[in-house]
Structure formats: structure tokens, C-alpha cells
Amino acid sequence: MSESKTDILIVGAGPAGLFLAAQLAKINAFHASRTRPGQPAKRIDYRIVDKAEHKVLVGHADGFQCRTVEVFQSLGIAHRVVHEGCEVAEVVFYNPDPEENGGKGGLKETQRVVDTAPGTSFFRHYLLGQARVEQFLIDLVREEDGVHVEQLTEPTSFDMAQDTSATEYPITVTLRHITPKLTNGLEDPKSGLYRSNLFAPANEEPKTSMNGVDASEETVRARYMVGCDGARSWVRKQIGLELKGDSANTYWGVVDAIPITDLPTIRLKNVIHSADSGSILTVPRERGYVRFYVQLGRLEPGQRVNRAEVTIEKIIEKAQKIVEPYKLECADVEWYTCYEIGQRLCDTFEKQERVFIAGDACHTHSPKAGQGMNTSMMDTYNLGWKLASVIHGTANPSVLSTYNPERHAVANDLIEFDRKIAGLFSGKPATREEAGVSLDEFHALWKKMGKWTTGTAIEYSDSSIVAKTKQQTYGIRPELASGILIGSHFENHPAICCGTAQDIQLQHQLISDGRWRIILFPGDIRQSDVQERLQRLGDKLDQVVRRYTPAGEDIDSVIQVLSVFATPRLDVEKQKLPSILKPQKSPYGVTAWDTVFADDKSHHTGDSNTYVGYGIDASADVGCVVLVRPDQYVAGVWADADIERFRDLLDHVLVKW
């Protein structure tokens, strides 16, 4: 049996696993770009394995929320989502009305709301199939880092040293590599029923989808392992965890089809409650397709559905009844499945800070709010930079302890929201004669949670990497930037790049390359007192940043400093700025002119209003300093005179050199 070693073994090549690989690839690519001739590149070794023969081809997840597109922008691939995806602009609510259809009863449009509230994000909400999303990530990993997904490869045994600090590679996994022979009855590529939770419990032992010949085995020793292997996770079982929760005892069908219908809002998102036939949610998809979520029926506790009874014909027939008196036919069905609504959560997402689980492996819920794929990828976005910095030796291993509390809280909030929204979706509307779901309550919840569902309202609590309320401990000054929320992501506002004269989006400068950012808002550099403060600040910053920079590496290799001046671009004399604001980059010693920005007028889009957007007073007698984590979340806000105070926070996280 062959043996190998790796820094990180990723089990499962769905959205969560692929996103982790993409983040690691981006970090490796950054360090490769800074490698001097003749020197070895600083690189994290990782492998991503999946037991399936190939990636998802059709169907599965399709919601792409604003925050997720922002993060894809940080990887350089958001343009592919925007180009191929279908933007959702409005949500339309239909409710039963006995006076409609000439007194025969039917559906009435009762409300419309904007899908993404103005100002939420630079990006909108898009619908795009999981197959394309996975392909974008696969392409990035291959092109940036030369790594390929190892398909038809499944783990069969696991062991971890009791004292994980006593050995460099404490995890031992046996991998089985399979040569495909034939599938086990999954001949219909349009059917996703083989993954449905209606036919097997979430904690049931996963079944391989392939029979194989010429199987070979390999022993892999790893520093860390991340289970991104779905609701029936093998990794979760190995570390003794299980999904805990309950079911709502209702089941739904899902269909991706090109509809022929007279429903006038079919290219918008539609939430339809019928009087007696159930509910349906439709969302527009790319290439003219529409995703239908169709309420099929109720289940007794513990009841399983006969798989033979779940057919595409029956799902479409039920959809036709719900939308009456509108007509509905499906010209082409690309994919279909069914699922039982349930909310389940693991007690923890890690074991000994060496094995982690993410995505459906640790939390499951209904797809009603379009959060599954998004939350899964944001799990590994939170984890990836932490693993990378520990492996590189630039962060203390204790930073890994923040993954579980940060992401467990998000998953718990998601499940609570999903429980409410799924119940309101599945219930029968109230009438004068009969109690039921309050449609007003449904609309109110939908509006209330609008920003949260975009992914832009996530807030992390106080920790070693978030100084949210620790004013006395770290001297934070959140009042200096009322538009920046500590513990939340750094929001976007435009500015002008002093080096290129281009109008830029400031958030887009925060590339997911594993680096922390210090963003300075010194004020108007034309003022003599601001110039003096800036020179003092530059000296202090140089000392702070060098404190965490490994010997021989570029000064911005761990912490990058960006600056935004409340000054016309042409009045920012770049050559007079402190060197920390315009560092030289290896391998050629090129000066970085793309790190200095101005709150100025653009040639094309007018005034930037950067300071106003972030709630910063440009005329204040003190400048503002923002510390941003590698995942774009704000760790703290300080006055420029107190720059050394956030060194106290970084000392707990980063390794001093």
C-alpha cells in the first residue's frame, strides 16, 4: 500500500469542499507570485477527494446570494456568475381569493417586494445551477494551482493520534481509489432521488454510487482533515458526531423545467399559496429554465415515502393544481427530486481542532431561503484562511478555535429562520372560517429577514479575532466609522485609485489571498496636521507590520496596508507618503501604487463619497484605522493615534517574528 503526506485532506468535492480548495489555491498563487527566482514557492499541500465518478451535472442547489458573489469577486470569478446567472429582481406573492376567476375562486397577486434592497451590496441575487458553480471553482483550482479533484476516491478508515501536538501529521486515512465499472441503477440523469432524504435518514451510513474493479488503496497522513461530504458525512461519523433535530413531516418536490404558462410573473420569484392544493415557490433560472418547489403532502412521524410513487409526472400534476386557474406545462425537464423538510445541527463542527466539518455535514435545512450552498461555502471561507495561516506559521493554532463558535452560531440562526419560513410555506392559509397560516405574518418575516438572507447581515461575536465590545481591552473606537460594523463584513463603497486614476470598489481590493488588511482613513492630506499625523502613523505602522512578517518576506506578505484620503487624487503626492503605504513587491521590487486611494470625483461615475459611505468624518482631528481579517470581516476600528493598541489583539492571533 502506497503512503503519502498532505497538509489538508478535503473529503467531498461539493461547493464547500471546492470552495476551500479554491481559497487555498488563491493563497498559493499569491505566494508563488512573490517568489524570487531560485527560491522555492511557499505552498500549502492539499488534496480533495470525492467518491462520485464526476461532479454534479444538473440540478441541486441554485441560489447565489449577494455576499457569496462578493466573496467570488475576491477570488476573481464573480464575473462568471453575473454573466451566466439569472438575476432575481422581485418577489411576487399570490394568495387564494374566492372572488377571483369570475367567482370560481383562484389566485390573486397580493404583494410585490424588491428581492435585494437597494444599497445592500454591489452585487444582486442570482440563480445559477450548482453544476456551473462547481465548474468555476474546479477551473480556478486547476488554473491557479494545478490541483485536480480526485474522483472515485473514498476514505475507508480513519485514525488520529491522541496527542495531536506530538506529531506533525496526526491524522491517518486510508483512501480507496476505484476504477468505474457500472452504476447502481442511477441511469436517469434527470433524477436526483438517489440523494433524497425521503428514502434514507441523514445519519445513515453513506452508500457509494459506484461498483468498481481494480481498486487500490493508499495511506494518507495529514495535518488536518475537513469533511465536506454532505448530510450523510463519513467524516462526521468518524469523529463521533451526529445531526440532531427534527422533521416538519411535510415533503416537497423540486423540478427544473422550461415552463409553458400564462402566469404573467413566471420570470420573477413567485410565492404561491393556494386554498386547498398546497404551496409552490418558483424562481427563474438561467437558459430560460424555472425552478419549482412543489408541496406534495404530509408524512406521519417516521414515515418513509415509496420511491416508486415519486415521479416527475406527479410533481408536475400537483404544481398544475396549485397554480390554477393559470395553465402550466413543462416543455423540458432537466432535473427533479423530492425532500422532506427538516432542520438538523451538530453540537460542534470540529474535533481537537484537527478535523473539521462544513456545509451539510454539520447543518441541514430546507432550500426555501436559498441558503444551503451559500452557507456551506461561507463555512469553508471562514476556515480556509485560518488553516493556511497556521500551516504557514504566521498565526497561532488557537485561531482555529474560532471556527466552531462563529459558524455554529450562523447555522443555528439559519435553522431557526428556516423552521419559521418552512412552517409558513407549508401551512394552509387562514380563512374566515378556519384558522391557518397568517399571510401577513409570512410577508412580514420575509421582509424582516431580507438582508439576512443576502448573507450581508452575518455578525461574528467577540473573540480573539473580533474586538466588538472590548473598548477597555483594546481601545476600539467604533464611533469613528458609523458605517463600519465590527464583526460584520467590510462593506463596499467606491473610491479612486491614485496610481491608475480608475474608479474602484474598495471591497474588491480585499483579495482572498490570506492577508490581513489595515485600511487607513487619515483625512485630508492637504492639511498640515494630517500630514504630521500620517508620518507618525507610518513609522508606527511599519513597526507593527514588521512584527508579524517572517524574515526575508515582503513587508505586505501577512498584513497589507491600504489608505483612503479625503483629498482630490492629484493632491495626493504619492512619492512623499510613508513607505509602508507603497511597499515594494517581490520578485522585482516593483512599487505598489494600487494601495493608495482618494475620495474624489470619477471620470465616469461622479463623486465617490467614500468617507460618507463609511460614516467617517473627514474633518475630525483624529484619523480612523480599520483592521480587516483575511475573510473580509472587520476585527476592529481604532483612532490613528492608538494604532499600537490593536497590536494587543494581533499578538493573540499572529506569530511574532
For helices 372-392 and 15-33, angle between their N-to-C axes, nearest 10 degrees:
40
Q: For this structure, is 367 an active site residue?
A: yes
Q: For this structure, is 43 an active site residue?
A: no
SS3 state of residue 417: helix
The catalytic residue among 367, 478, 578, 630 is: 367
What's the sign of the alpha-carbon dihedral 562, 568, 574, 576?
Answer: negative
Q: For this structure, is 62 an active site residue?
A: yes
The catalytic residue among 285, 344, 477, 629 is: 285
Contact 559, 549 (CB under 8 A): yes
Non-local (6+) Cβ contacts of 173 within 8 A are 9, 155, 157, 158, 159, 219, 220, 222, 225
Contact 372, 343 (CB under 8 A): no
DSSP state of 41: P
In three-state form (DSSP H/G/I as H, E/B as E, the rest C), the secondary structure along 427-485 is CCECCCCCCCECHHHHHHHHHHCHHHHCCCCCCCCCECCECCCCHHHHCCCHHHCCCCC
Cell 437597494 maps to which residue? 118
Non-local (6+) Cβ contacts of 538 within 8 A are 577, 578, 579, 580, 581
Label residue 131 exposed, middle or buried (CB < 10 Å: 0-12, 13-18, 19+): middle
By C-alpha distance, which of 120, 315, 303 is closest to 201? 303
By C-alpha distance, which of 250, 258, 253 is closest to 321? 253
Q: For this structure, is 142 an active site residue?
A: no
User: How many C-beta atoms surround the C-beta of residue 275 within 10 A?
Assistant: 17
The catalytic residue among 7, 50, 62, 640 is: 62
As a whole number of angstroms, the distance between CA 462 and CA 466 comes to 5
SS3 state of residue 19: helix
Q: Determine the straight-line distance between the first and last CA of the chain, rounded to whole angstroms.
A: 41
The alpha carbons of the chain give a radius of gyration, in whole angstroms, of: 26
The catalytic residue among 94, 126, 293, 633 is: 293
Residues with catalytic roles: 62, 285, 293, 367
